[in-house]
Amino acid sequence: MNNTEKRNSLYIISSKSISRFGNILFDYANSVWLVNSTINGSLLMAIYQSSESIIGIIFSLIGGLLSDSKSRKKILIISDLVSGVLCVFLGTLFYSKIFSIVYGILSVNIILSILSSLSSPAFKSIIKEIVSKKQIGKLNSWLEVSSELTKIISPIISLSLVKFIGIQGALIINGVTFFISAFLTFLTQNISKKEDHNILQVQKQNNIRTIANNFIEGFNYLYNKKHIFIIICTAALINFLIAGYQLYLPFSNKAFNFVGINTYAMFLSLTPIGGITGALFSTKLSSSITINKLYIYIVMCGLPLCAIYPLSFTKNALITGISIIFFNFFETIFNIQFMTYIQQNIDDNYTGRVFSFIFSGALLFMPFGSFFFEHFTNVYSNFNYLIIGCAFVIISLLSFVLMQILGYKEKL
C-alpha cells in the first residue's frame, strides 16, 4: 500500500469500528429500557428487532441505486451526520414529557435502520475507490478483524456506560460516535473515480419508471455475468443454512448435555476466536481470487459442522468446540474473499446495485431459514449440525458442476 491507501484504510476502519460501537451501544441502551421500563417489553422488542430486517430488504435496494448514481463518500457522511443528530436529539429529550419515549425509540430506530440500509451498499462500493484492486482483500480482512474485536469489546463498554452515565448519556455518546465516523470518512481520499454514464441518466430522469429501469439494468448486468450470478445465489443459500446454525446454537445446552459445561456460552466464546483468526489469515492470502477457491472455502465451512455430531460422542466439550472455531474460521475467510471478488470483478457503475441485491437476498433468506429449520427439524438434536454441514458441501458441489456445464473454466 502507498501512503494514501494506508491513511484511507486507517480512516475507513476506524470510522466503521466507531459507528459499529455506536450501533451496539444504541441497541443495548434501548433494549434495556424497553424490557425493564414498559409493560409490553417483549412485544416492543419484537417490533424493534423485526423492523430492521423489513426495512433492510427494501431500502438496501434503493441504497444500491443511490450508490451507483451519487457520491458514495457523501452518502456515508450524510448518513452518519443525520444518525448522530437523531441520537443526540433522542438522548437530550429522553426524560422529557414532550413525546412518548417508546415511540421516540422505535421511530429513531426505524430511521437509523433506513439510513444504515441506504449506506451499506455505498460502504462496500467505496472500498474500490480508496485502495487499489490488489489491496481490496487486505482492507476487507482488517475490517473484519476490527468488526470481531468491536463485537467483543462493545457490550462490555456499553454495560459500563449505561451503568455509570445512564441511558440518556449513552445515547448522546452514541450520537458523538456517528459524528466522529462522518469526520473520518471525510478524511479519505479517492484514488479512482466512477464512470459517469449511468449517473447522468439517473440525474436527468428521476421518475419511478427510470428508477425501475435502472434496477432492471443492474439485474440484467448481473444475470449476464453467469459465474458471478451463480456464486451470489450460492451465497444466498449458504445464508439460509447459517440461519439454521444460528437457530440451533441457543439450544446447545440441551442438545449436547456436557456435564458441568454451559455449552452455549462456550460455543459463543469460541466463535470470535475463529472469526478473528480467519480474518487475520485472510490478510495473507493472494489478492488473486477465483470462484473455485470460494467453493473450496464453502466445503471447508461444511466439514467442521459435519464433525460436530461424531465428536459429540467423545463427551468432551472442548474437542467438540474446536469444530465451532474451524467453522467460523472458514466462514470468515469465505465472506471476506466473496466480497472482495465482487468488488474486484463488478463494473463500478453497477457495484452498488449488485451489493444491494446481495444484502436484500441475505435478509430474505435468513428469516426463511430460521422458520424452515424451526418447523422441520428438532432444535434439540445435535444431528442437525451434520445435516447443515452436508448441505454446505452438496450446495458447493452442485454449484461447481453447474458452472462447468455452463462452460465456465477457471484455474485455482
pLDDT digit string, tens, across residues 318-364: 899 999 999 999 999 999 999 999 999 999 889 999 999 998 888 88
Please identify which residue in the block is written with the cell numbers 448481473: 222
Contact 305, 252 (CB under 8 A): no
pLDDT, position 196: 46
Q: Supply the pLDDT for residue 55.
A: 79
pLDDT of 38 over the 60 cut: no
Is the model's pLDDT at 190 over the cut of 70? yes
How many alpha carbons lie under 13 Å from residue 70 in its C-beta half-sphere?
Answer: 19
Ordered alpha helix ranges (H), 196-225: 197-204, 208-224
Closest by Cα among 70, 24, 45 to 178: 24
Q: Cell 462490555, residue?
A: 156
Nearest to 341 by CA among 409, 287, 304, 393: 287
> Can you say whether the dihedral through the CA atoms of 225, 72, 276, 315 is positive or negative?
negative
Collapse the DSSP code of 40 into the 3-class scheme (helix H, G, I; strand E, B; otherwise coil) and give the result.
coil
> Which stretch of DSSP H or E encloses residue 44?
helix 41-69
Rounded distance between C-alpha atoms, residue 231 and residue 144, angstroms: 21
| CB atoms near residue 98 (< 10 Å) | 7
pLDDT at residue 399 in the model: 94
Q: Taking the CA of residue 168 as centre, how many other CA atoms within 13 Å lie in the half-sphere pointing to its CB?
A: 6
> What's the start-to-end Cα distance of the chain, in Å?
25
pLDDT tens string 122-154: 999 999 999 998 899 999 999 999 998 998 888
Nearest Cα to Cα of residue 176 among 94, 105, 109, 89: 89
The predicted structure's pLDDT at residue 36:
67
CA-based radius of gyration for the chain: 22
Domains and CATH numbers, the chain: 3-187 (1.20.1250.20), 209-406 (1.20.1250.20)
pTM for the full predicted model: 0.86
